């Protein structure tokens, strides 16, 4: 499966995808890594891996929709069948992304539907939550609101602060995203009738990441 990755930042999730592919666990071809930030670490990682890159500056477009249209046009031109948002920090225009619904996933650092948007670690701590986590979901026009495919859960420990929590969660994210992408790449996970389907059955609850990989929730 031909995959494009959109990322705004350091790209540790992209690195995890590249490593999973190197280990032979991810039957995909990365055809493009695109960013809204020319300085994104993700672009440097892609260059080092020999993957075509694209940096588009939002400021050189009249509005959000114009930027998104160009981004999606160029992404389609790369031959990508699937888009992975791996730390892509822009809200996408609903109309522009519509043709990609079912073919675009995002990783979000919270146990959705809790804490859509920013500052998820801080919000989990402030709420006194005992558990935190990350979710991979299909992207729809609703911000961080598309159907959740899988989650990684972890306990919040005494003494955790925002940075420590974010750091610990990242190692879970780095297992979660490749595992979900592998399900899509092998076509076990599909988008049917506006909802996720796994092995031909509607996915009624998010899968959970365990020691052995993704499992159905108990």
The catalytic residue positions are 108
The residue ranges that bind ligand GRF (CB under 6 A) are 7, 9-13, 86-87, 107-109, 134, 173
Question: Residue 177 or residue 182: which is nearer to ligand GRF going by CB?
Answer: 177
- Residue at shortest CB range from ligand GRF: 87
Token pair in block for residue 111 = 């146990």
CA atoms of 53 and 6, how far apart (whole Å):
10
Minimum gap (Å) between residue 185 Cβ and ligand GRF: 19
Question: Residue 171 or residue 194: which is nearer to ligand GRF going by CB?
Answer: 171
| CB contact set of 52 (below 8 Å; sequence gap of 6+) | 31, 32, 33, 46, 78
Contact 53, 46 (CB under 8 A): yes
| CB contact set of 79 (below 8 Å; sequence gap of 6+) | 2, 31
CA atoms of 200 and 213, how far apart (whole Å):
19
Token pair in block for residue 46 = 């892609």
Minimum gap (Å) between residue 14 Cβ and ligand GRF: 6
Contact 212, 50 (CB under 8 A): no
Token pair in block for residue 82 = 């699937």
Minimum gap (Å) between residue 46 Cβ and ligand GRF: 12
Question: Residue 93 or residue 144: which is nearer to ligand GRF going by CB?
Answer: 144
Minimum gap (Å) between residue 9 Cβ and ligand GRF: 4
Question: Residue 58 or residue 66: which is nearer to ligand GRF going by CB?
Answer: 58
């Amino acid at each position: 499966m031909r995959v494009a990755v959109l990322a705004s930042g350091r790209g540790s999730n992209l690195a995890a995808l590249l490593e999973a592919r190197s280990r032979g666990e991810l039957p995909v071809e990365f055809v493009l890594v695109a960013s809204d930030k020319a300085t994104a670490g993700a672009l440097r990682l892609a260059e080092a891996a020999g993957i075509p890159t694209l940096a588009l500056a939002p400021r050189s477009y009249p509005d959000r929709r114009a930027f998104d249209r160009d981004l999606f046009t160029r992404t389609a031109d790369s031959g990508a069948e699937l888009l992975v948002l791996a730390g892509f920090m822009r809200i996408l225009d609903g109309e522009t992304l519509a043709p990609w619904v079912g073919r675009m996933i995002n990783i979000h650092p919270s146990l959705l539907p809790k804490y859509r948007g920013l500052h998820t670690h801080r919000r989990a701590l402030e709420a006194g939550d005992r558990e935190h986590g990350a979710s991979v979901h299909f992207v729809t026009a609703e911000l961080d609101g598309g159907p959740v495919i899988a989650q990684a859960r972890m306990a919040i420990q005494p003494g955790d602060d925002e940075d420590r929590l974010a750091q610990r969660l990242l190692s879970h994210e780095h297992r979660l995203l490749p595992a979900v992408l592998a399900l899509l790449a092998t076509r076990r996970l599909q988008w049917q009738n506006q909802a996720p389907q796994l092995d031909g059955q509607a996915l009624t609850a998010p899968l959970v990441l365990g020691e052995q990989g993704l499992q159905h929730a108990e």
